[in-house]
Structure 1
Amino acid sequence: MMHHRRSGQFLGLHFFFVAFASLSATGQPIHQLSDLHWQPATATWYGSPEGDGSDGGACGYGSLVDVRPLKARVGAVSPILFKNGEGCGACYKVKCLDRGICSRRAVTIIVTDECPGGYCSNGRTHFDLSGAAFGRMAISGNGAALRNRGEISVVFRRTPCKYPGKNIAFHVNEGSTDYWLSLLVEFEDGDGDVGSMHIREASSTEWLEMKHIWGANWCIIGGPLRGPFSVKLMTLSTGRTLSARDVIPRNWSPKATYTSRLNFY
């Protein structure tokens, strides 16, 4: 039975943006994830046997991992996939190889956490899945037997994230002020990961670069920063961009939730 607890500390800093978003007006082509081939890895499970996985996690999604669409699809990955937090939000299909106990069905997981030691150390490509996700790879009725095997060989590949009915949203993290503004992106279809973020103040034409601080959290130090703010993000995997105009209102507040009107799909 599994075992280790990952180093996911939740910094209780969250905030979503509701605003009018517009895709980049450059007419950019539709990019595809380049990693479409199955690759070898190993997998374990953690938490309760039929559980949904950990609360919080090293990406900073907090209680969102306990509810759909993340519920039961969360996963911790080794540093090679976690990418110091820039791998947060990426989606993978994982399936096991032993046809005697495993079905041909792959489970889809969303990176919400990191497993830095044990099976995940020494440059290994490893997935630590919720008990529910791990058991779902088995032939019907064999979930418990598969979990009893502990570490297993799997294959995996990137897959586009899909959040039907949801648009990209942003958390303004707790502790944000007019001089230190921290954001976290949620429900990003497609690549799922964020490679860079910029913010533009009211009545300004200059995009200010945000700094990646930990997990899926970004911040900007300056000020006083004056809203409403527009936000531009670029995905890590394929470099697609999306600009959300005036998504954070002038009278924004920490821990508020703002949702854009667009997504990548």
Structure 2
Amino acid sequence: MGFSLTFHYCLFSVMVLLPALCYSQDYFVGSRATYYGSPDCLGTPSGACGFGEYGRTVNDANVAGVSRLYKNGTGCGACYQVRCTNPQLCTDNGVNIVVTDYGEGDNTDFILSPRAYSRMARSDTAAQLFAYGVVDVQYQRIPCRYGGKKLQFKVHEHSRYPSYLAIVILYPAGKNEILAVDIWQEDCKEWIGMRRAYGAVFDMANPPLGDVSLRFQVRGDAGLTWVQAPNIIPSDWKVGVAYESDIQLE
């Protein structure tokens, strides 16, 4: 994300609340937010979630790196409403962001893209808000909305056909977290777990030949469930290509 701020502080008092905050949070929590440098005010393609270019521009580039909300990559793709608490500088609604990276700052939960940070401000107070650098905020988990886009399975750029397959799941709408991904092994007639390589990237060495069928475990408001995507990636898959499914999470 282009920064390397490191601060150590005690999180015990908030960590005990994490099970409730992970996917069913419907109230505001106090925290702090800052922003990172970006020449075009967009996100970064090298974020820890592994989203690449998607992480730069998704949600009109209203994106953020998070610290404890990253949750070893499970928090990637989650959406939050973030609003600063200074009524003279900030709007009541703040900005809706998508988590695309990991980052630590001065006791901050959110390190926002410049575009997202400025959108917390009133129309004529953005410069003053940037001058603060770090501001007190409130945030809550909200459903992700992508204008009807269906779930996509992107073959990550680190993949090497046909010996190594890495994927990242894009546009998971609603308040859902992807916990695990399995791939169907036709000759063994069983599901084989893929490894969470880092962030939102799952991989497997020597994947099965033929069309790729996947299933993924989702945690959301309805609890835990498995969703299947049969033959979602063709046998001659291409690195960098995102394959659209008929699945639309809510």
Aligned partners of 2:23 and 2:176 also within 8 Å = no
In the alignment, the residues of structure 2 paired with residue 90 and residue 50 of structure 1 have an alpha-carbon distance, to the nearest angstrom, of 23
TM-score, normalised by the number of residues in structure 1? 0.79
Q: How much does 1:4 deviate? A: 5.9
Partner of residue 209, structure 2: 226
Change (3 A) 1:188 1:198: same
In the alignment, the residues of structure 1 paired with residue 40 and residue 242 of structure 2 have an alpha-carbon distance, to the nearest angstrom, of 31
Q: How much does 1:70 deviate? A: 3.2
Q: Percent identity?
A: 32
Q: How much does 1:106 deviate? A: 2.3
Pairs within 5 Å for 1:1-265: 5=3, 33-48=23-38, 51-67=41-57, 69-78=58-67, 80-116=68-104, 118-119=105-106, 124-174=107-157, 175-202=159-186, 205-222=189-206, 225-237=208-220, 238-265=223-250
Query: Structure 2: which 5+ residue stretches go unaligned?
Result: 6-21
Change (3 A) 1:71 1:218: same
- 1:5 partner SS: coil
Q: How much does 1:50 deviate? A: 7.3
- 2:82 partner SS: strand
Q: How much does 1:48 deviate? A: 4.4
Aligned partners of 2:44 and 2:53 also within 8 Å = no
In the alignment, the residues of structure 1 paired with residue 85 and residue 171 of structure 2 have an alpha-carbon distance, to the nearest angstrom, of 30
**Deviation sequence 1:39-58 (CA, Å, 0-9, x none):** 11100012248712333311
Q: How much does 1:102 deviate? A: 1.3
In the alignment, the residues of structure 2 paired with residue 221 and residue 48 of structure 1 have an alpha-carbon distance, to the nearest angstrom, of 35
Change (3 A) 1:125 1:192: farther
- 1:70 partner SS: helix
What's the Cα RMSD here? 2.4
Higher relative contact order (CA 8 A, sep 6+): 1
Aligned residues: 231
Change (3 A) 1:230 1:6: farther
Q: Which amino acid aligns with 1:113?
A: D
Change (3 A) 1:126 1:248: same
In the alignment, the residues of structure 2 paired with residue 52 and residue 253 of structure 1 have an alpha-carbon distance, to the nearest angstrom, of 27
- 2:238 partner SS: coil
Query: Structure 1: which 5+ residue stretches go unaligned?
Result: 8-31
In the alignment, the residues of structure 2 paired with residue 81 and residue 107 of structure 1 have an alpha-carbon distance, to the nearest angstrom, of 17
Partner of residue 14, structure 1: none
- 2:224 partner SS: coil
The structure with more helix, counted as a fraction of residues: 2
- 2:59 partner SS: coil
Q: How much does 1:239 deviate? A: 2.4
